[in-house]
Amino acid sequence: MDVLELDSFLNQSFLDLEKIDENLFRSKTLWKHKIARGVYGGQLISHSLVAASSGFPEDQHIHSLHSYFLRQGNTKFPMLYYVDKTRDGNTYCACSVKAVQFGQTVYTMQASFKKSEASNISHQITKPTVPPPEKLKTPFEILDILKQQELISSQRHEMGIEWFQDFPMETRWVSPDTIYAFQPEYPKCLIWMKARGHIVPTLSVGIPHLPSGKDLHQNVHKCCIAYLCDMLLLRTSLMSLSSTANSVFMASLDHSMWFHAPCHADEWMLFEIEAENTGDGRTLCHGRIWDINGVHITTVSQEGVLRVNSNL
């Protein structure tokens, strides 16, 4: 994907909302993966963050969000985003966002923003020691090897290639065998990820208070990270399943994120994901994201429906 295509991806994915009123926005494009039943959850998250960001001053940055997925969204009809400011303080501001379609709430979010401030205390969890992304194979190379070794069928190979091609994210899997778990394993993986292409200075954002330029506003990068990471979280729980579990249904229930430091979604980030608990038709996954220099930039948690075979 080249620069122009990434510009189009950003706009169509989450930046290109139509402002109808002061606190009301409408989607222009909704996307779902071919194997999914409804609108991609990461798009609902990022759309809601963009709508929320438009109502606060430029120096207010997203630092956390907590949200629930309530219904499937339909890609053939627009989504309405209603924003309600709940706090407008000097340092911290907050709002709620409700995504509505056909008069029913599809998704809700509580988001908090804050001004940067100096601090005389600092602590973070250390980034795992892993090979750099340039030393690792692409997922396409891994899938080709698995097919050549007859570990996956031609159909599964084609489905895997399509899955990675359809989504505008580059990944490098630290352990190639975590792409497909052939035997039940502890559900934890490490993945390098970034937006495919570059978020360039000439990108036209078109949202109040989010300027274009060399230092593209941090809220744009955070929206992009929210869009990307939702694709990888729940699938980690599949590593603990038997290879006989051919029919799997997954859907997001809730999603929370905390942003700890400035970030750049078009540069390599290390994503550590662990499925902490699976049972009762649900799975809970936690993730941490570091930048290439080892700065802990984001923490994310997500619970989802997970049903296998006859329990679909």
Q: Which residues are catalytic?
A: 230, 252, 302
Give the helix ranges, DSSP H, for the chain.
3-10, 41-53, 139-148, 154-166, 218-229
- Pairwise CA distance, residues 69 & 109, whole Å: 9
Question: Which value, to the nearest 10 degrees, does the dihedral of the CA atoms of residues 42, 294, 192, 181 take?
Answer: -100
Residue partners of 254: CB distance under 8 A and separation at least 6: 66, 67, 68, 69, 302, 303
Angle between helices 154-166 and 139-148 (to 10 degrees): 180
Q: What angle do CA 301, 303, 307 make, to 5 degrees?
A: 145
- Give the residue from 180, 187, 118 showing the smallest Cα distance to 153: 180
From residue 54, give the alpha-carbon distance in Å to each of 64, 84, 97, 259, 267: 16, 12, 12, 18, 25
